[in-house]
Amino acid sequence: MMVEYYFKSQDKKFTLIKENVFDALPKFEFEFDMIFADPPYFLSNNGLSIQNGKVVSVNKGKWDKSLGFDYINLFNRKWLKQVRELMKEDATIWI
């Protein structure tokens, strides 16, 4: 399997991918120096907020709806375990 890159720097020292973590991670056969992740916050709850002076929905999409604490905990433990297995011992992670 091959990873499709969203962005790759010209010096090839930085690569950004945009893919489901559970699909992407098994494709890598090396360890990372740094991981930057933006996981779902599960905040879509049909609520409202104010943005630029206007009332807006907080719903981001189906992917951001909470299925309860146990689901969120399992989801985070699962992706973090997969990520940790691919990190170098002295790697950093930004979430």
In tens, the pLDDT along 13-26 reads 888 888 888 888 88
Predicted confidence at residue 2, as pLDDT, reads 73
Residue 54: predicted pLDDT: 96
Element (H or E) spanning 35, and its range?
strand 32-36
| Contact between residue 33 and residue 94 where contact means Cβ atoms under 8 Å apart | no
What does the pLDDT look like over 33-83, one tens digit per residue?
A: 999 888 999 989 999 999 999 999 999 999 899 899 999 999 999 999 999
Reported pTM = 0.74
Q: Do the beta carbons of residue 5 and residue 27 sit within 8 Å? A: no
- Report whether 36 contacts 91 (CB < 8 A): no
Geometric angle at alpha carbon 41, from 39 and 83, rounded to 5°? 25
Q: What are the helix (H) ranges across the chain?
A: 21-24, 69-85
